[in-house]
Structure formats: C-alpha cells, structure tokens
Structure 1
Amino acid sequence: MRIPPIFFVLTVLFFMSGYSYAESLLTRVKDIEQRPFSLSGNRIATWKKDGIRVFAVQKDARILQWPFQITADTAVCWFHEEEAAQQKEAIVEVYCEGKVTILEEGNYEQFEQVYLRFETLTGIVVNPDVQPIETYEVAQETEIVLRGEEIRSMGREEYLSAEIPAKMSPSDVSQKEEMVDILADSIDSWEDGDKRIVVALGNVKVKKEDMTIDADSVILWFDATESDISAEEKLPLREIYAEGNVAMRRKDDLLIADKIFENVKEERGILINSKIKTKIQEKRDKTDVASEMKAPSRKEKRFTFEGFPAYVKGEEIRRVGKGKYEITNGKISACGYGHPHYHFKGKKIRLAQRGVHNIVSSTNNSFYLDRYPIAYLPYLSLDVRRKERLLRDWQFGSSSRFGSFIRTDWDLFAATGGNQKDWSDLILNLDYLQERGLGTGLDFEYNREDLFGYIDTYYIKDHGDSDINDVPIENEDRGTILWRHRHQLPYDWRLEMEYSYLSDPRFLREYFRHEFKQEKDRETALYLRRIHDTSAETFVVNEQFNGFDTTVDSLRERRYAERLPEISYRIIGEPIADNRLVFTSESAATYFNGSFERIDPEVENESVARMDSVNRISMPFKPGIFNINPFAEGRVTAYTESIDTSDAVDEANGPAAGRFIGSFGFDWSSTHWRNYSYYQDFLKINRLRHIFVPELRYMYSPIVTKDPNEVYQYDSVDALDSSHVAVIGVKNKLQTKRGEPGLEKTVDFINFNVDYYLFPSKAGIYNDGINGIIIRKDNFVNIDFRSQLTDIVAFVSERNEFNTEKFQFDVLSSGLEFYNLPDWQYFIGHRFIRDISSTIILAAEYTISEKWKVMGGEMYDFKSFELIEDENDNIDRENKSQNLKTYLVLSRYFHDWIGSFTLELDPVRDDSSYRFDITPKGLERKTRRFWF
C-alpha cells in the first residue's frame, strides 16, 4: 500500500525532533543488502584512509540501492574496503548534502543533510559521468568531508535534517592545495627566492583540479612555503607557461594555441595563435511538468544542437578574469575546419563564461561565406552553449510560377542576446520572389513553466495577376496572423486561445500549402476546460473573423458554425449502483451565430440557441470468456427556432422545436490465442502465436421525434436520424520471434482485421466529414492487412472498403515497404477510390556514401479528372490520366550543415521548380513557405 508523504511528516512531528525518524529508514526493507549498490556523479575523487575507501562526489550525486534512490548536490561515501575482503557483508556509509531527495517506490522525502549506513553483499559500483575517477594519496579535507566525519563520529544509524548546514570557518578546513600531477620525458626543478620553478620537456602532461595541459614544453612557478615540503607537486601553483602544440582543457572547453602564459592566482593570461572550442550543453528544463503538456500544432518545431562545438579564434587572446577572454580582430564560427566555410569576423570580441552560459559578444562584425563577406552587423551577442545561429536556414532557386526566389530565416535573439533566449525564439522571415515581390514575417515562440504558444505573421505585397486555377488576385496586400496559446491555470483549469487572420480565402493555398492541406482549420476561439476524476467542464467561444472558410477550396463543401458561446458538462464512465452500471453523459448549451459554406445553402442560416444532452447507461459484465456491454441511450435536443415547412418551399423563422432520439445496443467480444511449433528459415519464423478476437457491435435508434430536415444544420448532432447498424468484426494477429539467440524480440508477423458493416433498415451512419455530413447506407466490409514478411520487407493493405451490395471495392490500397536503414528504403504502392482516382505511388531513398544521399518520388493518377464548362455554362467532369507530382532530392552532408538540391514537377499547381537548400544539422525539417 502506498503511504503518502504527509504520513511521514506527522510521524516526525509526533515522535521525534525536527530532523530524524522514529523508525530506521533502511530497516523497513527486507534483504536490502542483497541489492547492488551504485554511486555516480559529475566528478568523483577517491582516497584510502585507515582501511576505508572514501569517494567524494562534487556535483550531481546519485546513489542507488533498490528500492532507495538518492540524489543530491554533493555526497561522500565511506566503503569499508578491508572489512569487505574479510567478511561476507560490507558497510557503506553515505553522507549527502544540498537538495537531497530520497525516493522509495513512488514516495519521496527532501532534506538538506542525510547520513545513512547501507550494507551490501555485492560491493560498490562507482561511475563518474564526466571524467575518470581522480585518485589521491592523502585525504582531501573539504568542508563536506569534515561535516560528514563529524556526523559519523556520533555513531548514529541515520541522520536526516532539513536545515542548511552552516559554512565552516577556514580553520576547520585543510588549506592544502590540490596536487599538481606532472608527466614528461624530462623534469627539472630549482628554487629561486620565494618560488620553486619546474621545467618539463617532451610530451608534457600537467593535471590540476579540472584543468589539464598537453604541450611540448611547460614551465611552472610554485609559491615556496616555510614548511619544508620537498615535493613541488604539493606547493601552491602560481604561474604556467606552455608552448608547442598546447592544448588546455577546462571542463567542456578546449583552448588550442602555440603559446599560453597564465597567472593561476590572478586568473589572467595570454594565448598566442589560439582557438577556443567550447561545447554546447544540453538545455535542461527546470521541470518536466511542462513537457507533459503537448503544445498546439505548429508548422515549425524547436531544435537543439547538444554536443556541437563552437569556436573563437584570434592571433592573441587575453584572459582578463575567471571565465573572461578578450580577442582583437578575431573570428567566431561553428565550423571546426582550419579554413571555416562560414564565420563572423569582429574587431573586438569578448567571451564570458557565466554558469551554464558562454556569451560571445562582438562589435563591427562581418559575416563571411568562405572568404567572401556577405553581411555586416554592428553588434553581435551569441550564447554559444546553445549553438545559436544568426542565419537559421536559407534557400534559393527558381519556379515557373514564382520566378527566381531566395528564402531566409534569421534568429533575432542570436544577434541581440538577453535572457529571453532561454524561454523563447524570435525568427525573422525575409523572402524575395521575382514574380510576386518581397515577403517578410516574424515567428515568435515561447515556453514558460505553465504556459506556451507561438505567434506567426507573414506579409507580402503580391505583384502577381492570379493564383492557382487562374483565380484573379483582388488585393495585392496579402498576409496572415496566427496566435495559439495554452495556459495551465490553478485548480486543474486549462485555457487555450487562438486568433487567426487571413487577408483572403486563397492565401494559405498559395503560400502555405502544408497548413492548407494538413493542419487544423484556422479559427478564432477561446477554450476553457477542467477535467476532474470522471467529469469535465468546458467553455468555448468560436468566431470566424475572416468571414470565410480558411482551409478549403471550391471543390469542398465544409460547413463552419460559430459558437458564441458553448458551455458543456461531461461525465465519463461514472460507476453507479454498486459498480454494476456505468453512466456517461454529455450536455451542452450552444448559441450559433450562423455558419459559412462554400456552396449556397438552400435554407438561409439563422442565429439559433440549442440545448443538447445525451445520456448513456451501460452494464458491462463478463460471463466466462465473453465481454458483454449492453447499453441504452437517450438524446434530447431543443432549438429556439426551426425551419418553417408549412409552404411548398422551406423558409426560415419557424417555431421553437425539440426532438428526442432513443437508442440501444450492445458490444460483445472474446479473446483467444494458441501457439504453434512452426519454423521457417526464409521468412525467419520461430514458432507462431495466433491471437483471435471476434467482435460484435450493434446499435439501433428506432425513435426520432423530428426529421433532421426540419431543423438548422450546424454539425453532426443536427443531422442525426434513425439509424440501424450492426458490425461483425474479427481481429487476427500472428506473432513470431526474431533475432539472435537470447536476444529474440516478438514481431507481429501478420495483422489481419475485418469489419462487416450492416444496415438492416437502410438507416445508415452519420459522420461530420470534410465534405459536410457523410451518410453511409451501403453494406460494406472494412479490411486492414499488414505483414512483416522479413526484417526488411513488409506488405501493407489498409483502410480498404468492399461494397457488398454492388460487389466491388469502393476503396482499395496496397503497397510494399522495403526498409534497410540507414542505407536505403523504398515504397511501391497503389490506391484506388472508385469513380475518383487510381494512383500509383513510388518513393525511394538511398545513401550513396557517408556524405551523399539521394531520394525521389512519383505520384501518377490514371483516373484523374478536370472540370469542363460547356456552351451553356454547365460544368462536367472529364476523366484523364495525369502526373500528380515528381520530385528528386540530392543531399550533401557537411560537418554541421546539410545542403540539398531539389527538382520538382507539380502539374496540379501548374508549377515546375528547382531549389538549393542549406539547413543546419539538428534542425528538424520545417514546413516550407510557398509551395515547399
């Protein structure tokens, strides 16, 4: 049983003082000593004292002995090494300090100081995260070690305190300098006044704290002390001079130079003919809670460059303080080549290391591609640990519809700097299209602890005469604004907002085809909801400021209804009657302010208020191997106005109306399986498991008190009519084992699902589709089939519909997938839609070498059609074969950029184009503006 943390708090207050338990923490777990004990952290040092091996973790300490997990800023472990060699059990004493969290099977406690005594039969595993374990001959008497020793001397089994430990006085801490290790072919030393000088020649390696130096020769100056210490490695280091292939490493930074001189005490120095390479750190969020909230659909996603290097070069680099450097006439680049492909050149460059940030600022900058300057910036500020690029992406080429073009994305925060970069992005779009004009936009994305969203804008003064299908352009000022926002509020409430503006109904189709075809409708809406246990409350205001449907063209008939507002309350699966019944309900009050349609409606839309409530009671039970869920449902809908049907022609402004729809039905299923000892080498079949799930779903709505043609049609609720549906289905799955012996994995060899839809009384099903309300009354069979023939080849045939009344396929698709990643992958497929299309789809991707990749695709429709207008202005369809799309992409992978050359034919848009695209590695492929 899980015990909430408050129980432990009450126990502490009642039985003990403010920092200890009445019961030993570790004794509650049986046989804990048989579990492995592990210690890990950012940097670990070790030494041996009095037969005890001591490990000191300086950052991000993690200790694990299941079921206990401990995390802390720092930690010290005393492992009784000599006793472990003589006895079966070994003792590990642990002292942790700074934001200590103890987790035990879902429960957690937080402290500032923790001391525990563990026992282990399996020894101790130590794993440093950043660099190898540092071994010392003498004990390192740091503050945390001394505090831990003081608590150990108390002889207690455990010590738990929420108080922040007081800082120890300097007299309590050893003032010994950390040792300096020197390795070289030849080492000589002598004293000169109050200094000891050490000269190391040939393959020199110097190591001190978190700094290492490799060079051909090194001179070190140590401060001599009054005590007679013969080993200079234990003296305080004062100055270093290194020359000849010098490489100095500090944490994640690498300094390369011909010569380096550094005053260690004053933290100043100079580097000659040098380069600083700093590593980009992984950006960690303060909390993972925000990651659980999925952001709204977005045309551009954020990217990271963790692990990529950044370089600062100069003939002379001066170190002017801790983590601070100044460079005159230097270069900044993310290209590590000796002659970088691109770089910024600045007259005065400063590098400041501040915690997790490395800020590079520069004045009077020129941006170079190879040796050629292409842009000038008076001021530049970059956080190179985040690997920010001023030019995010760029592309140029030519199109038969747009002419020659260039498209660029600029990171404004990369140039201006500031803390806003930690939680937001600001991208400037600058485009030139020869036939259409200049386009510009701003994309702002933000992500805070309890809110996130984005604002995208774009504007172009369109010089063209017509859009696709030769539709004339009425206004040359064209553009869009889209704002989507989500805010997590107190008491489980969540607010979502969207604002959308479009200059005209054809703008998206012309310039943002991906959003037009695939993303959700543009709308202006406010959505407030709260989900608590099995209930949910929502409030929606939805208005179309544009005055037209934003995502469809003239061949579609989607209806868009404004809700001003809609309030709803839902109960989902609430058990009642001692859990024998399940109650589900949804009630909504809506005020419709008309709707937008692409075709002229026969009945004029009116502003109508509607009350709708649907309630279902089900009684699931399981007799034997069967799952049965019968249900009864009733829907009550009331309208303030209806359609007046008193005359021959339907008119508006009818009386208030209401209707009731009564339904009942059941769901039935059963699961069976069987294993077969069948083996086959060619298809790599290693036994078979057959999973067989028959299903039956039935629903009948015999009671409908008012015909749907007598009420206004705003969504699928208004279109509901008498329905009678039975679905007989069978799900089949064949599984086998594939892989090396001992590493086999279960593979779904075949998935074969069949659903037979029957409409006994010709009363079908009603769905709200992209072409308005879809009514399906013909009996049909839905077939899904997939077979993973080998590890490389799969056959797919999904979403097929066979009309049993006309005995022909309405929809039929099939395809072969070939995957041999990362070298190559292919797809060959066919999709048939009766009376609409019969399309062949070919796609391939092949990796020529480590740096070159080619991909291409083809879509050809054998049953395409076009609209023909005769002499009497009647429109008819004429079938013809047509190429839908052909493309070929050749990609070249550089060290941190990807260059692509694309050829594309798009007869549907009457466009052919070629383009060159340069994209940084690590950047997710963005949806392109224009036709891309």
Structure 2
Amino acid sequence: MSGEINPVSRYISHTIWQAVILLTMLGGLVTIAPAQTSFFGAPKASYEESEYVPPEEAPIEISAEYSQQWEEDFVEVSILKGNCLIKQGEAVLRARQMVIWHRKTRKTNRVSIYLEGEVRVDLPGESKNENSLLVNLVTQKGVKADIRRSSTIKASQDDPLLKRAIQRRGTPHDHQLKRAQFIVEKPPLEGPELNTVPAPELKVNFRRIRLFPRSAVPYNVQSFPSTHTVPPEQIWVITGGVNLLIDGIDGVGMVDMSADRIIIWTDGRNTQNFNSEIRQSKETPFEIYLEGNIEIRQGTYFLKANRAFYDAREERGVLLDAELKTHVPELGEDIRIRASHIRQLSKGAYLAQNGWATGSQFGKPGYRIQSSDIFIEDRYTTPWLGAGSNELDPLTGQPVPHKRAWLSSSNNTFRIKNIPLFYLPYITSPAEDIYFPIIGLRPGNDRIFGFQIESQWDMYKLLGLERRPGTKWEGQLDYYSIRGIGIGQAGSYAGENLLGFDNIFNGNGELFYIHDSGTDNLGLDRRALIPSTKDRYFLNHRHRQDSPFGVTLIAEGGLLSDRNFLEQYFESEFDNDKDIETLLHLKQQQENWSWSIIGRTRLNDFTNTTDWLPKGDLYLLGEPLFGNLLSWTSHSSIGYGKLKPGAPPYNPTQDVFTPLPFIADSQGVVAMTRHQLEAPFNLGPIKLVPYVLGEAAYWEEGLQQQKIDRLYGSAGLRGSILFERIFPDVYSSFFNLNGLAHKMSLEGDYSFSDSSEDLTNIAQYNEFDDNAQERFRQRLVINTFGGTLPPQFDPRFYAVRTGAGRGVTDPYYELVDDQQVLRMAWRHRLQTKTGPPDRMRIKDWMTLDLEASYFPNPQRDNFGEDIGLLGGHYQWFLGDRTTLAANAYYDLFDGGQQLWDVSLTSQRTNRLSVNVALQQIKGGGGLDSQILSASLNYVMSQKWSAGISTAYDLGENINRGQTLSLTRTGADFLMSLGMTYDQSTGNAGIGLTIMPRFGNFGAGPADFSSLLGNNAQ
C-alpha cells in the first residue's frame, strides 16, 4: 500500500515523541535543540532595546530552584538553574538558567544578568522570547533572593554556562534593559571528528564518546538529519542494547551509560555518518535520551531508571522512576534515594522529587525518610577550629578540603514500614547522617516518674546545621506524667591546633531542665522529699587541652539547682562520675618534675568544697643524688583556701543530715613542703630501701580557726624478696594448664612517724571523697550509728591506719599522725602458657595476695589490737571465660569491719553469660548485710536475647530488687523491653528502649559478646 508507514519509522517517531513528552513533563529542565526559529520555522523577530526602563526605586527579586554562589573581586557571582525568574517593577524575566554578577555600592546595587534557555521577557504591553539575553539592572532598594537549594562552591572556570556568560558579558553596559547582541558560536573548523581508531590524548576542551553493544548481540542504528533547527542536527536512534561512554567531563571523569534504547542529538554539520567513536568540542551540543533498564555511573554516583535524558554540554539530566546510589566511606555502606524523578542540576548535584532516602540495602527498606524534595550534592569542607588535616596542598600549605556528599530534604516523614512516626519540614546534613534526627526512644512507666517518654535527638540534623568535624551534639526531650517535661542538651568535641596553636583538645558539656511538680524518692527513709525549688536543672562543661612541652589545661564549670536533683534524675552519674565543679587547672610535666596551678570556686552552696584562690604545686620525682646512691622526691604546695561546709538540706527532718567533723568554715593561707630521701640497695636476693621523709606545713585557720604549724617526719625500711619455681611437666587439658610457674614475693614496710600537731585539729582542705560518698556519710551517722560516729568509722583515722596520706605526692597530705607500723604482704602468682604452639604467651592462672599490718602501739594506732587491716584477694582463671574470685578485709577490734565477697563469672559460650556473687558487709552499730546476687544473659538467636538479675539480703531477710530485659536485634533497630523492681525505693517500672543501629549511632552488626555486655545489669 503506497500510503502505509514503515514500521521502523513508526517506532522511531514514537520513541522520539516519548522523549519530547518526557522533557515537556519535567517543566523544561532541558531542551532538545535551542532553536532560533518560530513554531513554523520562520525566523523570530529580534530587538535591540526596550523603551521600558525599570525604576531604580523598585527592588530586584530573584528566584530559582538551585544557586551556586561565590565572591570574586568584591562582586557576588551566582549561577542559577531551574525555573529562574527575575522581577523589577513591571519587568519580568524568565529562563532555564542564568549567571548573575551583583556589585554593591553605598547607595545602589548593580546587577548584570546573562539569561539562557527559553528566555522570556514580559514588559508593559509586550512580551518577547529569546534564546539568550544580557540585561543590566540598577536598584536602590536591594536585591531579594528566594532559592530552594544553594551551594557556596565556586564554579570552575571551565563551566560551559559560565564561559558563555563571561564571553557574552564583555564590557559592562548601562542600566537600561537591553538585549545583548546574539552571538552564534561557530563550530570548530574541522567539525566533529569521527574516528574508528583510538583517538590521541584528549585536550581539556574536547570530549570523546564511545559506543559498545550492551551484550553479545550487536545494536541497531538509524540515522537521519533534522533541518528544522539552527544549526541543523543529526539524530541517531540506537536499539538492541548499547553502552555509551563519555570522557572529558570536568571533575567527574568518565560518564558510563547503558540502556536498551537511546536517541542522540548532536551538531549535524559535516556529521551524516555514524561512528562508534566520536571526538568533538565540549561546546558542541550532545543530548541523549535513554529508555529501558538504564544504568548510569558518574563519579561516585550510580543511577538506575526506566527513562532518562542527559545533556553532555550542560552536564545536566533527568531520570524517571529512578534510583540514585552512592557509597559513603564514613558510613561504611551505600545510601539510596528512590524517587518518581531525579534531576541532575549540575555536576555532582541532584534533585529528587516525591522520593525516599535510606541507608538500608534491602529493596523495600524497613525504615526510610519520605520527602517531597531531596537534594544531594558534593560539598568541600575544611577542618573546624583547627581540627587538623594530614593532607596539605603543596602550593598553599593549607589543609585540602574534604569532599563529601551532602543531603538536604523538605517535608520529611520518618516511616517504619509504611507507618509515619515523625515529621520535620527541613533536614540538611552530610550523607553519612542520612537518618532521621531521633537516635533513641524509651517509653515506660514507674512509681517515681509515672508514664514517661524519653527521647534523644541529633541536634545538627534537627536544626538543619552543618555538622562540625569532631563534634557531637544531642538533644533530650522527656515527658514524665508525675513530674513534668524535661529538656536537655549534651555534646562533645575534639580536635587539634585550637586558635592556631599546636595542641590537642577535647571537651564535653551537658544541661537539663525540668519544672518538677513531684517529690523525690531516693530510697529507704527518703521516699517523699520536697525539692527546694520546682525549677530544677544542672549544667556542666569540661575542657582539656594538651600542648607541647607537657603543658595541660583543664577547665570545668558546673551548676546544680538543688542538692538532690542529680541523684534523682541521673543516679548513675551521681554515683560514678566526677563531681560537678568550677575550676581552672594548668599543669606542666617534663621528665621527673612538674608544676601546676589551680583556681576553683563553689557555685553550689549545698556541697562541701574548698575554693582555691589560687593554689600552686611543685613536684620533683626520683632525682638521683651522689651518683645514684640517693634518690630525692619532693612536693611543695601553697595556696589561699576557703573551706566551705555544705548547707543543710531543705527539709532536714526528712533528709537526715549530720555535718562532717573535719569540715569547718575556715580560710587562709595553706602551705606545705614535703621531701623524701631513699637509698636503695640489694642484700643478696633481698631488695632494701631505707628512707626518711620530712614535712613542714602551715594552715592559717584550722578546725577552730586557729593557726597551725605542723612538722611531720617519718623514717622506715622497705624490703622484698622474690621466689620462683617452674613445673614444666604439669599439663591438664581440663584446667587449661601447659606447664606451671609459681612466683612468690614477700614484702615488708616498717615506718615510724611523728607529727607535732594532732590530726583532729586540722581542717580537711584537700577532699578525699566525692559528693556521693560525703552525702552517704552525712546520713550514716544518724540512720546507722544513732547520731554519734564511732572513731573506727571516721574516714580520717582509717586513712592514717592504711597510710593513704604518707606518700610524698599524696594530694590529701593532712591525713598523717603519730604512728608506728609494719605492713606485710605475701603475693603469689601461678602462671601457665596458652595460645598456638608457635606463639605461646604467659598468663596468670591463679593469683593470691595476703596482707596484714602490725602496730607496736595498738592503743594509739589500732584501737587496742596489735594486728589489723587483714586482707586477701584471690582469683582463679579457670579458662578464658570463667573466673572464680574472692576478697576479704578484716579488722580484729570490737565493731571493726568484716567485709568479704565471693563470685563466679562464666561466659562459657558466646551465647551465655552467668554471674553469681555473695557479699557480706558487717561493722559496728548493727550494720550486718549478706547480699546474694545473680545475673544471667542469654542470646537465644541472632535476633533475640534476654537478661535477668536479682539480689536478696540474707542478713536482713529482704528482697533488694530484680531486673528483666528482652532484646530484639533487628536490621535497623535494637529494641529492649525491661522491667525493674527496687525494694529500697519501692519502685516498680517497665520500659521499652528503641535504639537505631544505622548510621553513626547504632550498635553496629549483631555481636553476641556486645549484646551480653549491653544487657548485663
């Protein structure tokens, strides 16, 4: 039939129209052929100048989807792309992309604008369409910009759009709205160079295109010209599967594309024949439409789609039903973005719409962030606050900026499966922090706080701020139905070369506030304490800086609202962490000498503290004298101290309190110098060290505000002897023995000390307990001893008996008195070998340490008993995972301490961990407790683990409490259900903890040992 259409032509026409429809759907992001013709092919009318001049009193308004902005010679330069619009007065200019030069003066703003791609100018009474345009505007009212996505990375001078804009701009024009002379760029004289042989090395202003079959089946090519464009185009339709490589893309290298079908548009002059390898100028148009199983690799990005369009000259493209993937080294895995369509706005910048982002590698992830817009680009960051970099630019000597993928997204909904949990309007962060800002969630209920929801947040991501290298910033938002709403912040930082000086620094800070409407329950006789204020808070900051020559600077600052807040809300920190203080400490240590100076002041009046205004110390350790015959060690200290007793509780009838006897309201100069000489020598196998120590000390005010001068001296002899026997033939696979060595040492230290001042007259300016221990001592006097502290339990006397303050460098040098004592120790080590035969190592199989002290003057020094401070420490390492331990500490006088414990810890496999312990605490005043405790942790499978612990007081016949936890380790979250009961507070509670395992916050891959450790209570 003469009128029948060829099937091949019909297919080609259908495919081309699909490409045209694709471009039309996407709002004109790219065009197939920038023509200077009308719809019917007739030349458009051009104009040289409009009669309308926008008033300078009108501001200039600029909007676009994407902006790349930097400053150059005091001129702000911007590249705008995507739905660009400029308005001043009644003049409106639109284009696909623009380049703007903005110069500010004292009274005016001068703006030069190069517009390109579907340029439309709307003026009063007329509208015009152009391919490109140069406009100069002036305003006295400033420039307003509304940019959806922006970057501050300076564009390369080889950027095609920027090069055309600079060439077009030439010499600046006056301020009237003008159309610059349109310049048709001529192609290279030789035209696109078509080669079938390997091309020589490419220059930077050329690109090379190579085509290969996607499989063993050759592709099919249809080629025909298009004469309806200026200049004419050549169109190639390739089917059957093709792999296309483009070399010479600046900053990216090679672009690798594969698809079932592609259409190529390029300059048609002197290009009628198809070749599998093309070499052409970068300014030559080269546009590609791809369809079917599309895969694109560009730099670190890998993209997949069903349909796509790419403009090689503009380095932009668009993909439908697409997925973007890039590997993030900091995350250790890929991030994925799936969207209905993804646009490449420029080199290394992509915009995904109606999509989701995830770090999960599952096809349908269990969690994701659903967003209306997701923008990803390459950013270059430099170290913050001198954080340091190992890589330096050889020309400038400055740290090389670090390239990283950066994500920004709008209208974000965090979903688990298809359930939306949280919403945030805007998020921006590095790609390694792709995940939602929440990093921990714990709902629960108990009798102290009621129903509760505790949550932790990544504040950088929540506020859309750039994460500073070496820093961590978390927020806390809690709800307690009985107490109120609590908010908090916590962060840490670390780096090098602070303020440009050679140093290493780190620090952390935290704060928390709650308007508390409840009462405190701290256990036993403190179950309903009324706080002194409803506005309860704490804040704390610590900083450490290490500099050359051994210089260390420590700065701390802390404030608490009341005495019981930390113990109620942050009990673990109160019991185990360092006290919250406000101080500045500078120290230098070199070889065997050091000096330090400290200034400290008290902000919390309910704590026992010494203000130092300031205090300095000087140390010299082990300085040899007379050819190493003697060794000299010294410590000198001087400062002005204000010893401040803590204020009594707000409700002393409920919160029992007794002032400590060694804390008084005293102040004044405190000075001390202490020196020791040692003369070590060997007497056969015996090591002997005779020594003598002398001290002179001064307190301007003691416990009764009297002046105190103290001279203290001590002389003695230390000695030790070591015995060893090897049993090489001892072997037992059951007890893990491969040879046995018994090492035994006998140690002794006799000393005679004399002090010119009684210890009971000296105020304790240098603390030896933290606040938690002092708070316990203040209650112990009443609730255990009936209001009078027995001298056997006075911590000062215990410190003197154990020799805690006798050392030259001991910080609490007040704790010495008249004393004569012989301290003895008998230490044993049974050692064996373990490991592979060629790399065996020595390890302890069993250890036993026995200690005792003999007091020649027992009435003065040991409450009437010659022998005291009996101690024993035993450990048997039955295997690498099983240990039997026992400890004991006894005094023989009436009411003396009788402490012992025995425990068995076993982790026979990676799945099971067991601990059983029995502990006795017995002393004067009716203190008698024997606590049996046990804990078991069991990993049932890769996903499930459980833990249980219990404690029972056999001496008082009281249940002390239990905990039970059940943990599920999922691919994305670690969820733990816990139940607790505490007899002391009468509290029972249940809680569900949800922790993400992705990104920088998770628990990492499933590991049995870590799970056992996490569940152990």
Provide TM-score, normalisation by structure 2: 0.62
* Contact 2:754/2:819 (<8 A) preserved: no
Task: Name the residue aligned to 1:321.
Answer: 346
CA distance in 1, matches of 2:708, 2:825: 42
Q: Partner residue of 2:931?
A: 839
Is the deviation greater in 605-614 or in 395-404?
605-614
**Matches for 1:263-278 after TM superposition, within 5 Å:** 263-264=311-312, 266-278=314-326
Instruction: Determine the structure 2 residue equivalent to 1:612.
Output: 672
Residue equivalent to 2:260: 217
Does residue 900 of structure 2 align to residue 812 of structure 1?
A: yes
Matched, 1:599 2:651: no
- Supply the AA of the counterpart residue of 1:815: S
Gap change, CA 1:320 and 1:214, over 3 Å in 2? closer
Deviation of the 1:417 alpha carbon: 3.9
Deviation of 1:567 after TM superposition, in Å, equals 0.8
SS at match of 2:479: strand
Moved more, 487-496 or 528-537: 487-496
Shift of the 808–504 alpha-carbon distance from structure 1 to 2, 3 Å rule, reads: closer
C-alpha displacement of 1:539: 0.9
What do residues 826-849 of structure 1 show as CA deviations (whole Å, max 9, x unaligned)?
A: 111222222442112211211111
The offset of 1:515, in angstroms, is 0.9
Q: Distance in 1 between matches of 2:350 and 2:864?
A: 72
The residue aligned with 2:603 is 545
Counterparts of 1:776 and 1:572, CA distance in 2:
36
Q: 2:883 aligns with which of 783, 786, 794?
A: 794
Pairwise CA RMSD: 4.0
Tell me which residue corresponds to 2:455: 408
Native 8 Å contact 1:628 1:669 kept in 2:
no
2:819 aligned residue: 723
Q: Tell me, what secondary structure is at the counterpart of 2:907?
A: strand
Matched residue, 1:452: 506
- Specify the code of the residue in structure 1 equivalent to 2:217: S
Change (3 A) 1:255 1:176: closer
Q: Distance in 2 between matches of 1:341 and 1:671?
A: 64
* Correspondence for 2:219 among 179, 188, 197: 188
Report how far residue 310 of structure 1 moved: 3.1
**What corresponds to 2:575 in structure 1?**
517
CA distance in 2, matches of 1:386, 1:837: 50
Residue 396 of structure 1, CA deviation: 0.6
Aligned to 1:895: 971
Separation in 2, partners of 1:506, 1:841: 28
Q: Is the CA contact 1:204–1:218 (under 8 Å) kept in the aligned structure 2?
A: no
Mapped contact 2:630–2:678 kept (Cα < 8 A): yes
Separation of aligned partners in 1, 2:198 and 2:819: 83
Pair 1:828 & 2:920 matched: no
Please name the residue that 1:351 is paired with.
Answer: 376
| Contact 1:186 1:200 survives alignment (8 Å) | no
Q: Distance in 1 between matches of 2:866 and 2:213?
A: 87
In the alignment, which residue of structure 2 is the partner of 1:392? 439
The amino acid of 2:980's aligned partner reads E
Determine the structure 2 residue equivalent to 1:913: 989
* Contact residue 278 and residue 384 of structure 1 kept, 8 A: no
- Higher deviation after alignment, 176-185 or 595-604: 176-185
Task: State the Cα distance separating 1:433 from its structure 2 match.
Answer: 0.3
Aligned to 1:680: 732
The aligned amino acid for 2:357 is I
Check if 1:425 corresponds to 2:472: yes
Local SS of the residue matching 1:473: coil
* Secondary structure of the corresponding residue to residue 760 of structure 1: coil
Check conservation: 1:735, 1:749, Cα contact below 8 A.
yes
Q: Note the C-alpha offset of 1:571.
A: 0.9
Q: Give the match's secondary structure for 2:878.
A: coil
Separation in 2, partners of 1:537, 1:417: 45
The equivalent of 2:594 in structure 1 is: 536
Structure 2 CA distance for partners of 1:726 and 1:231, relative to 1, 3 Å: farther
8 A Cα contact 1:211 1:248, kept in partner: no
Decide whether aligned partners of structure 1 residues 745 and 859 sit closer, same or farther in structure 2, where only a CA change above 3 A counts: same
Task: Pick closer, same or farther for the CA change 1:861–1:199 going to 2, 3 Å.
Answer: farther
Question: Which residue identity does 1:307 align to in structure 2?
Answer: G
Structure 1 contact 479–502 (Cα < 8 Å) conserved: yes
Pairing partner for 2:611 from 559, 562, 565: 562
Matches within 5 A, 1:20-31: none
The answer on whether the counterparts of 2:255 and 2:299 sit within 8 Å (CA) in structure 1 is no
Q: Given the alignment, which residue of 667, 687, 690 partners 1:630? A: 690
- CA gap of 1:493–1:389, structure 2 versus 1, over 3 A, is farther
Give the alignment partner of residue 335 of structure 2, picking from 300, 305, 310.
310
Q: How far does residue 741 in structure 1 lie from its aligned partner after superposition?
A: 5.0
Matched letter for residue 735 of structure 2: L
Q: Distance in 1 between the 2:627 and 2:716 partners?
A: 22
> CA separation in 1, counterparts of 2:520 and 2:254?
66
Distance verdict in 2 for CA 1:504–1:432, change over 3 Å? same
Query: What's 1:639 paired with?
Result: 699
SS at match of 1:467: coil
Partner of 2:763: 712
Distance 1:752 1:260, change over 3 A: farther
Which deviates further from its counterpart, 422-431 or 670-679?
670-679
Secondary structure in 1 aligned to 2:461?
A: helix
- Residue 249 of structure 1 deviates from its aligned partner by 5.0
CA distance in 2: counterparts of 1:909 and 1:532, whole angstroms: 50
Question: Unpaired segments of 5 or more residues in structure 1?
Answer: 1-137, 143-169, 283-305, 550-558, 644-651, 767-773, 864-879, 927-931
Contact 2:852 2:867 in 1 (8 A): no
Counterpart Cα distance in 1 of 2:689 and 2:270: 90
Shift of 1:820: 3.9
| Contact 2:223–2:237 (Cα < 8 Å) also in 1 | no
Match of 2:873 among 774, 778, 784: 784
User: In the comparison of the two structures, how many residue pairs are matched?
Assistant: 697
Once residues 418 and 958 of structure 2 are traced to their aligned partners in structure 1, the CA distance between those partners, rounded to angstroms, is: 47
The change in CA–CA distance for 1:602 and 1:465 in structure 2 (over 3 A counts) is closer
Amino acid at match of 2:1001: L
**Which letter does structure 1 place at the counterpart of 2:762?**
V
Q: Deviations over 1:315-358 (max 9, x none)?
A: 10111221110122222334444444443333232111225322
The amino acid across from 2:969 in the alignment is Y
Matches within 5 A, 1:849-888: 849-863=941-955, 880-888=956-964
Whose Rg is larger?
Answer: 2
Shift of 1:508: 0.8
The 2-side partners of 1:696 and 1:458 are apart by 51
Q: Distance in 1 between matches of 2:277 and 2:846?
A: 69
- Aligned partner of 2:530 in structure 1 is 472
SS of residue in 1 equivalent to 2:706:
coil
1:751 is aligned, of 847, 867, 883, to 847
Partner of 1:668: 720
- Would you say the 8 A contact 1:189–1:197 is kept in 2? no
Say whether the 8 Å CA contact 2:888–2:899 is kept in structure 1: yes
Go from structure 1 to structure 2 and tell me whether the alpha carbon gap of 1:662 and 1:141 turns closer, same or farther (over 3 Å shift): farther
Aligned AA (1:186): V
Range moving further from structure 2, 652-661 or 348-357? 652-661
SS in 2 for 1:271: strand
Q: Distance in 1 between matches of 2:234 and 2:685?
A: 89
- The alignment-based identity, stated in percent, is 22
Q: Indicate the residue corresponding to 2:711 in structure 1.
A: 659
TM-score where L is the length of structure 1:
0.67
Equivalent in the alignment of 1:508: 566
Assess if the C-alpha contact under 8 Å between 1:184 and 1:205 holds in 2.
no
Counterpart in 2 of 1:151?
A: none
Secondary structure of the residue aligned to 1:516 is helix
- Pair 1:701-2:759 in alignment: no
Larger deviation, residues 894-903 vs 665-674: 665-674
The change in CA–CA distance for 1:218 and 1:335 in structure 2 (over 3 A counts) is same
**Corresponding residue number in structure 1 for 2:13:** none
